[in-house]
Structure 1
Amino acid sequence: MSASRPQWSGRRGDVRIADLFCGCGGISLGLMETCRALGKRPDYVFACEMMPDYLDVYSRNFDPDYSISEPIEKIFNRDVGARASDKEKEWGKKIGNLTIAVGGPPCQGHSDLNNYTRRSDPRNSLYMKMARFAEIVEPEHVIIENVLGVRHDKNGVFDTTVEALLKLGYSVDTPLVKGEMIGVPQRRHRAFIVASKTKPLHQGYFDSALKAQYVRERSVRWACEDLLDLEQHSPMDVESKLSGVSKERVDWMFENGAYDLPDRFRPSCHRDKDHTYKSVYGRLYWDKPAWTITTGFLVMGQGRFLHPLRRRVITPHEAARLQFFPDFFDFGVQKRGGYAKMIGNAVPAKMAYAVALELLR
């Protein structure tokens, strides 16, 4: 992937962007590439992210006019349909005309990996803040991304947000995007809400646009082959140290050509009860896409993160490649856990690109 930042002529006009819940910037990166493909110039107007480290990385890569490290509900602090507060009016004027608002509200409450608060997490209500932002600022387009489980949220936030956007005069489609179908070297599936005031969207609108971008599946090899034995000059390329018992598990898998660890070698919390976590302690396949990269990719016991050819888990650099981050993206200097959280929580840029390309053309 490219090590140099691309340049844009911007001759076809600016695309003014606001990114709520921006994280380190996966969706905004996708919009950057969309603008480059369409000959437009991205103009990052507003970014909001509670985690200062994430916002710092976002700012160094996109340099937004306004970057706010506080909860979005304290800025857009009333519900959809309510009279605008003074603070909402203030920020509406600051942001001004906007082409597109994007965001991926915190998804842990929706994830099927979360057994405790699945689909009933109070953070799920943040979904409606995207609609409130649209009501106050009136962007031309809105893109909201999340895990598939959001569609079955206990409180119906997905459908409620769609209904709110429709009442605000947007047309809406809710495409399912499968990363491996559009060139992401990872089996990552996400639910999108896409709304527009200028495109006549409807359910199924994006089906043909996404099919037009289908490519042959890209593998871990495609993404990471040149990183196999890279010298560890950057903290992004430093290997995690395996414990003694983890090393024994890794050695057994390589010596037996295995990609899944038998239950008899697992800790008792998995071994002594029924479980469906076959991929935990798993090894990636060299010539297939990776499974979903999560924030636990530095730990063998948190997913299928063992390297296909080397007796170690993948590095942050390799995880970033699998998440479709180009090498020019600047993550700064972080603790290893910081890299894992930023990269694992991000949206692969190609997924945002696949949707935005049709929306902004």
Structure 2
Amino acid sequence: MQKHTFSDIISSIKLEDNILRAIDFFCGGGGMTNGLIQAGIEVIAGVDLDPEAKETYEYNNHGATFVNADITKLPLEYFKNEFGVQCNDDEMIFVGCSPCQFYSIIRSSKEKSRKTKDLLLYFEKFIEYYRPGYILVENVPGIMSNKETILNDFLAKLDELGYGNKENGRCVYDVVNMKNYGIPQNRRRFSLIATRLDRKVHLPETENHIYTVRETIGNQNLFPPISAGELDFNIARFHSAKKLSDLNITRLENTPEDGGTRLSYKDNKDLVQRCYIGHDKSFTDVYGRLYWDSPSPTITTKFLSISNGRFGHPAQNRGLSIREGATLQSFPFNYQFKTKSLLTAARLIGNAVPPKFARKIGELINE
């Protein structure tokens, strides 16, 4: 009698159930994974180099296994051996939202991030080996315009592997703004959907209503007033804000509510930042407050710090809290960040694909 391996059994079941499945490369804390799960897609695994993401990822995304690994060193056969993933599975989705610091317009050392520049090409190797039915990619807009971008090589490889191009409608990509998809945030991102199946794909339809900061975090029953440095040790809420120096609190006290900027105290020698003297038209968002009735600026990994952007609360003399940042990123209110470190939680939130946008993409594929 022929013996069947565990992988053979799993494969036979999956060929019959007709349920879309996914592997989320560079998964971080699970924003993309969570959105796909909301869309009814079974996420098998998430891969990420950051061990601090594991507990948050697995706690909130039941059934998805966190694989703490460097994709550049992960054997191509890993998912076949560990999860029974088969090649040429029409119901499989590979997601590749690789780190994007090198292509970001934010001023930072490109030498430090250079080693992550080509991660998309390592993701490509897994695509070539497994040839899943669908490919999803999210990145910063700069991946389309940077002179050192590897995007064109990646797109050419997708076409070569049978995933099509814009002309035949089986590969679509563009720079989109999350505020047009129900996320209360000005967040421009490159987004790609591709398939090797005989169907056309498209990006999600935009919404008519643009959500604001007030609609999102203005409810004081959900987001009660807190002070800078006040810690909420109920991990399910995590409505905690970073501590500020007395000088920065005084600066916020002198910054008008609802969109005020550091220019309000530019002539006060005791408050003005020395590096900005004479530079009233540069970096005007730093130390500024959010507007109540507009979307927030891009929630970055530094959103806890008022010196890194317009991250001051619209009315309170503090920066955004962990829970406020997560909600502006469209994480469900019950999504728990399993760490006591504010900086770790902020990194997981700022690096994430907004789950609501991920859900919309998943629903399109699942039509």
* 2:36–2:43 contact (8 Å) kept in structure 1: no
Deviations 1:236-275 (A, max 9, x none): 11232221110111011137x7611114444222335586
Distance 1:273 1:261 in 2: 11
Task: State the AA in 2 paired with 1:260.
Answer: T
Partner of 2:129: 136
Partner of 1:279: 285
* 1:239–1:312 contact (8 Å) kept in structure 2: yes
Partner of 1:19: 24
Corresponding pairs, count:
327
Distance 1:120 1:154 in 2: 15
More helix by share: 1
Distance 1:147 1:50 in 2: 20
Distance 1:59 1:188 in 2: 26
Provide closer, same or farther for how the CA distance between residues 258 and 318 of structure 1 changes in structure 2, counting only shifts above 3 A: closer
Task: State the AA in 1 paired with 2:141.
Answer: L
Question: 1:305 and 2:298 equivalent?
Answer: no
Q: Secondary structure at the match of 2:20?
A: strand
Distance 1:251 1:225 in 2: 19
Question: 1:181 and 2:206 equivalent?
Answer: no
Partner of 1:324: 330
- Mark the runs of 5 or more structure 2 residues left unpaired by the alignment: 1-16, 165-170, 227-231
Residue 114 of structure 1, CA deviation: 2.9
* 1:110–1:121 contact (8 Å) kept in structure 2: no
Distance 2:340 2:233 in 1: 14
Provide closer, same or farther for how the CA distance between residues 266 and 199 of structure 1 changes in structure 2, counting only shifts above 3 A: farther
* 1:120–1:155 contact (8 Å) kept in structure 2: no
1:244 to 246, 251, 259: 246
Provide closer, same or farther for how the CA distance between residues 115 and 186 of structure 1 changes in structure 2, counting only shifts above 3 A: same
Farther off after superposition, 154-163 or 269-278: 269-278
Distance 2:24 2:315 in 1: 38
Provide closer, same or farther for how the CA distance between residues 310 and 137 of structure 1 changes in structure 2, counting only shifts above 3 A: same
* 1:45–1:66 contact (8 Å) kept in structure 2: yes
Provide closer, same or farther for how the CA distance between residues 217 and 272 of structure 1 changes in structure 2, counting only shifts above 3 A: same
Farther off after superposition, 230-239 or 181-190: 230-239
2:99 to 106, 115, 123: 106
Distance 1:148 1:285 in 2: 24
Provide closer, same or farther for how the CA distance between residues 149 and 119 of structure 1 changes in structure 2, counting only shifts above 3 A: farther
Residue 175 of structure 1, CA deviation: 2.6
Question: 1:121 and 2:120 equivalent?
Answer: no
Residue 308 of structure 1, CA deviation: 0.8
Question: 1:291 and 2:285 equivalent?
Answer: no
Deviations 1:75-103 (A, max 9, x none): 1xxxxxxxxxxx32353344414511112
* 2:213–2:296 contact (8 Å) kept in structure 1: yes
Report the aligned-residue RMSD.
2.5
Residue 182 of structure 1, CA deviation: 1.1
Distance 1:56 1:120 in 2: 26
- Decide which structure has the larger Cα Rg and report it: 2
Partner of 1:89: 77
Residue identity (%): 27
Question: 1:159 and 2:152 equivalent?
Answer: yes
Residue 104 of structure 1, CA deviation: 1.1
Partner of 1:234: 234
Provide closer, same or farther for how the CA distance between residues 120 and 240 of structure 1 changes in structure 2, counting only shifts above 3 A: closer
Question: 1:223 and 2:216 equivalent?
Answer: yes
Partner of 1:44: 43
Residue 317 of structure 1, CA deviation: 0.3
Distance 2:320 2:122 in 1: 36
TM-score, with structure 1 as normaliser = 0.83
Partner of 2:8: none
Distance 2:322 2:283 in 1: 23
Q: Secondary structure at the match of 2:66?
A: strand
Q: Secondary structure at the match of 2:256?
A: helix
Task: State the AA in 2 paired with 1:56.
Answer: E
Task: State the AA in 2 paired with 1:127.
Answer: L
* 1:120–1:153 contact (8 Å) kept in structure 2: no
Distance 1:283 1:360 in 2: 40
- Mark the runs of 5 or more structure 1 residues left unpaired by the alignment: 1-11, 36-41, 76-86
Distance 1:319 1:287 in 2: 16
Provide closer, same or farther for how the CA distance between residues 258 and 252 of structure 1 changes in structure 2, counting only shifts above 3 A: farther
Provide closer, same or farther for how the CA distance between residues 271 and 303 of structure 1 changes in structure 2, counting only shifts above 3 A: same
Distance 1:274 1:176 in 2: 30
Distance 1:323 1:331 in 2: 13
Provide closer, same or farther for how the CA distance between residues 69 and 289 of structure 1 changes in structure 2, counting only shifts above 3 A: same
Which aligned pairs between 1:25-64 and structure 2 lie closer than 5 A? 25-35=30-40, 42-64=41-63
* 1:219–1:290 contact (8 Å) kept in structure 2: yes
Distance 2:119 2:362 in 1: 22
